[in-house]
Structure 1
């Protein structure tokens, strides 16, 4: 929820000898300008414009309603949403084909970048969402611990089918790191995202608390339109 600073990632994530001196250990985090409040509405065409890295999305492409979330894997509010609210939204709206849900990475620190990279490397959107779910459910075990979080992250990744080799390869993928950085930068500079989670529903920012009832208030009228 705070403004990002230019940090040496070695200060916040040590990924072990296998990846020492590579993507996550030798680069600086992107910074963004703090804004009091982003725009209440953004152009849908611009919001949904394809990027170099395809969106992680669930639900039909032609759904009447598209929800876009910008989230950081180390954000406690994002964790609360994905563990307590998202399952209800998925059951009510996504699994029934009523909405399309897009998850966009907005990493706030190096550990969030690492977690986002691992979720992307999991494979299909469904597998990536499963990895996101697993990481949020175990957030306290790796996101805020003082010790090196790499072993904890690897334990989670192993459950998703990662080997030590594929784990190390993922965390040293400079192209993927650059692609995630581009999503973060565009979210901030084009759509005014400066906090997580931030939601857009058909281009309109959700101003209320991210609870099921508030999503219902916005989504139901859109679904009932002819």
Structure 2
């Protein structure tokens, strides 16, 4: 999705298909530690030889394609095997994506990936319907992930977190000249666009060779 030139900073002022994944995360017996919303959200070992950074928007259809088609293979073959550390960076293209990003960062770290996976799998349900009540539709998925109404409202109205996200977006745009979402930075090299698995794996293999 090509980035629009609307002022992102001005935003601060102004499907149930994925429910099983959220339920599994919510019902996990592992302790659910809520990390500060400003800390890194990532998958995989920091000792992995290849670091992949993804700049994404939760309302980007190309990001959803990568998340639902390619990412499961990436996670299984490259992240879970210790070859890749995958770091998420919010790059919201609109107000809805920004609010969804804020909410996602208020979840326990172990629920972050299942939650955004659910949102990507269900974009048509919560992001694009005419006259959609985005507040209610996003809360539906947050509740499935175990978030209560009070925490959701705090996340939704956290202007400091919104500014943190948008400042990071501006810095990334300047640093990497990002012009599309998703954009992947693989060991420092930018790859714009939703990559097919074979292309992604080839880029990772090339990065691992140095």
TM-score of the alignment, normalized to the shorter chain, above 0.5? yes
What does 1:137-152 correspond to in 2, within 5 Å? 137-147=121-131, 148-152=133-137
- Paired position in structure 2 for 1:64: 49
Matched, 1:157 2:158: no
**What are the Cα deviations for residues 183-218 of structure 1, in whole angstroms up to 9, with x where unaligned?**
111111222112100011101112575011101212
Paired residue secondary structure (2:116)? helix
- Paired position in structure 2 for 1:133: 117
Distance 1:168 1:95 in 2: 34
Partners of 1:57 and 1:100 within 8 A in 2: yes
Partners of 1:67 and 1:201 within 8 A in 2: yes
Alignment RMSD: 1.9
Paired residue secondary structure (2:105)? helix
Consecutive unaligned residues of structure 2, counting only runs of 5 or more, are 15-36
- Paired position in structure 2 for 1:5: 6
Consecutive unaligned residues of structure 1, counting only runs of 5 or more, are 10-22, 29-51
Partners of 1:208 and 1:214 within 8 A in 2: no
Equivalent residue pairs, number: 185
Paired residue secondary structure (2:55)? strand
- TM-score normalized by the length of structure 2: 0.82
Q: CA deviation at 1:224?
A: 5.0
Distance 1:199 1:4 in 2: 20
What does 1:176-187 correspond to in 2, within 5 Å? 176-187=161-172
Q: CA deviation at 1:118?
A: 1.0
What does 1:110-129 correspond to in 2, within 5 Å? 110-124=95-109, 126-129=110-113
Distance 1:78 1:208 in 2: 8
Runs of 4+ aligned structure 1 residues displaced above 6 Å come to none
- Structure with bigger gyration radius: 1
Q: CA deviation at 1:149?
A: 1.8
Q: CA deviation at 1:105?
A: 0.4
